[in-house]
């Protein structure tokens, strides 16, 4: 898949016909994106099966279609990539499980809203395997957790984002996907206003499983992702 990394196809579950690919090492962003776009075309032509890619990227920022220039606070800190997915600025880096979702909505129903909802449910079920209650917040994209352990802001319980979602479609085949924070360096988010979150003013922040006291490994998360995927997507 990406020549500078090791692509290993995970043995699929009997109840999950979608191909799962694990990319070891840190996958370079540009070549990974290029290969993903090629694979989307192949899936559309029925030359490849639907796929889920599991990987980590080196530290970088990406800007979605709604990104504002002012939200890039330290542009020289990490490489910045303009991408066609939905959303604003986000961070990718080691300790974060990236799931690129290459699904054919021609076969699954051409419903983008349902796809995003199912991705949210997928993350929430995965978090549930570790005793973490993931939730959706009205007007906010991604999956969040309440932080009653933090001081309230304006009398409200703080909310921290643990997973981001950004999807793009080409001929009704999805690509890009989601990122779930397992144990990334959370300080790296300080170079951007992540997903439009102004933490100090709004009581919204960023968290991870390890930040919540859950010392799960990337491999633990991968197993939970595979199981939850079948429960949500069939």
Q: Is 158 a catalytic residue?
A: no
Residue 209's alpha-carbon distances to 16, 72, 137, in angstroms, are 26, 25, 19
Task: Give the three-state DSSP class for 198.
Answer: coil
Please give the distance of CA 132 from its chain centroid, rounded to a whole number: 17
Task: Give the three-state DSSP class for 98.
Answer: strand
Closest CA to 9 of 85, 18, 153: 18
Closest CA to 56 of 99, 107, 105: 99
Catalytic annotation, pick one of 54, 55, 163, 195: 195
Distance CA 205, CA 161 (A): 6
Task: Enter the tokens of residue 226.
Answer: 């595979």
- Which residues belong to the active site? 195
């Amino acid at each position: 898949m990406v020549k500078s990394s090791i692509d290993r196809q995970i043995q699929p579950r009997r109840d999950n016909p979608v191909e799962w690919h694990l990319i070891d090492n840190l996958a370079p962003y540009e070549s990974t994106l290029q290969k993903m776009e090629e694979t989307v075309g192949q899936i559309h032509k029925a030359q490849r099966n639907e796929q889920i890619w599991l990987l980590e990227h080196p530290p970088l920022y990406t800007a979605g279609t709604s990104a504002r220039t002012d939200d890039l606070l330290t542009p020289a800190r990490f490489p910045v990539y303009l991408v066609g997915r939905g959303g604003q600025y986000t961070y990718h880096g080691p300790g974060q499980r990236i799931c690129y979702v290459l699904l054919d909505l021609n076969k699954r129903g051409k419903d983008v809203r349902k796809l995003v909802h199912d991705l949210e449910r997928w993350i929430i079920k995965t978090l549930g395997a570790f005793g973490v209650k993931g939730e959706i917040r009205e007007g906010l994209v991604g999956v969040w957790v309440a932080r009653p352990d933090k001081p309230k802001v304006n009398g409200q319980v703080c909310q921290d984002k643990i997973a981001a979602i950004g999807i793009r479609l080409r001929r009704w085949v999805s690509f890009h996907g989601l990122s779930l924070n397992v144990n990334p360096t959370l300080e790296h988010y300080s170079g951007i206003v992540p997903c439009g979150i102004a933490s100090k003013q709004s009581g919204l922040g960023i968290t991870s499983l390890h930040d919540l006291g859950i010392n799960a490994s990337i491999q633990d998360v991968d197993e939970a992702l595979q199981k939850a995927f079948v429960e949500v997507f069939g």
